[in-house]
Amino acid sequence: DAMVIQNPRYQVTQFGKPVTLSCSQTLNHNVMYWYQQKSSQAPKLLFHYYDKDFNNEADTPDNFQSRRPNTSFCFLDIRSPGLGDAAMYLCATSRQEQETQYFGPGTRLLVL
Amino acid sequence: GQNIDQPTEMTATEGAIVQINCTYQTSGFNGLFWYQQHAGEAPTFLSYNVLDGLEEKGRFSSFLSRSKGYSYLLLKELQMKDSASYLCAVLDSNYQLIWGAGTKLIIKP
């Protein structure tokens, strides 16, 4: 089945210790998104790629970076996690920007 | 600014019908999505409306009125597994998805 995969499902890191979250897709979609979602809040878009074109949201902190080495994979790097970065991180894909977004299962990040 | 409003929480009884409303003010409109999100899980796509009217998909239906900036999600024959948050999201003129905070639906036996 075509799908969006995120690893790991749960990630524990220490304050200030860099962490990388990964996302892969077998849908061959052009667009990949990274969202941050905190409890009982709407998902917050951090950035997205249309193919190799990177689009950063204006209010995404510099602490968050992303890489998309090929169509299938996208990574979220948090350079120096703070306690406020504890959240669910959701990867989503869509064929085109105006089309339906499909989400992976998410990675729940805990910062100690 | 852009804004999506939906009730924070609703309660309904198993077997009944519930309507979750969503109103929006956005910069342009390229469609409205409803997603279901169980606690601790990712959102899953339920429906998409871009034209006025009702879209029916099994027990779930979604309605859109663009002139009123209004949509609703109708859930029939409620089951316990329908307990979840339901998120309304609008695609604006820049193809950015503007999300509501979600409506937590509690189903009671």
Res. A12: pLDDT tops 90:
yes
Mutate to test the interface with A, among B95, B104, B106 (most CBs of A within 10 A): B95
Residue type, A106: G
- Report yes or no: A21 and A107 within 8 Å, Cβ to Cβ: yes
- Interface check for A100 against chain B (CB to CB < 8 A): the answer is yes
Distance from CA of B108 to the nearest CA of A (A): 20
What does the pLDDT read at residue A40? 87
Q: Is residue A77 very low, low, confident or very high in pLDDT (cuts 50, 70, 90)?
A: very high
* Distance in angstroms (rounded) separating the CA atoms of residues B54 and B65: 9
Q: Is the pLDDT at A21 greater than 90, yes or no?
A: yes
Strand partners, B32: B49, B90
A7 has a pLDDT exceeding 70: yes
B45 with A102: Cβ contact below 8 A? yes
Q: Which ranges constitute the DSSP H helices of B1-109?
A: none
- CB of B44 less than 8 A from some CB of A: yes
Residues 6+ apart with CB under 8 A from A96: A30, A31
A·B CB contacts under 8 A? 40
Q: What pLDDT does B73 receive? A: 98
SS3 A4: strand
In this model, does residue A18 exceed pLDDT 90?
A: yes
Whether residue A52 has pLDDT greater than 90: yes
**Segments of chain B with pLDDT less than 70:** none
Provide the 3-class DSSP secondary structure of residue B79: coil
Confidence of residue A2 (pLDDT cuts 50, 70, 90): low
A3: left (phi over 0), alpha (psi -120 to 50) or beta: beta
Residue A5 bridge partners (DSSP): A24
Integer-rounded Cα Rg, in Å, for chain A is 13
Given a cut of 70, is residue A1 above it in pLDDT? no
pLDDT value at A89 more than 70 = yes
pLDDT tens, B46-56?
999 999 999 99
Give the Cα-Cα-Cα angle A11, A48, B104 (nearest 5 degrees).
Answer: 65
Whether A106 and B42 lie within 8 Å, measured CB to CB:
yes
In this complex, is the C-beta atom of B102 within 8 Å of any C-beta atom belonging to chain A? yes
Chain A, window 34-53: residues with a beta carbon less than 8 angstroms from a chain B beta carbon: 40-43, 45
Half-sphere exposure of A72 (CA within 13 A, CB side): 4
Strand partners for B85: B37, B104
Measure B1 CA to nearest chain A CA, in Å.
15
For the residues of A38-62, what is the DSSP string, one character each?
Answer: -TTS--EEEEEEETTEEEE-TT--T
Q: Which of A98, A105, A108 sits opposite B95 (nearest CB)?
A: A98
> Hey, is the C-beta of B33 within 8 angstroms of any chain A C-beta?
yes
* Closest approach of B75 to chain A, Cα-based (Å): 21
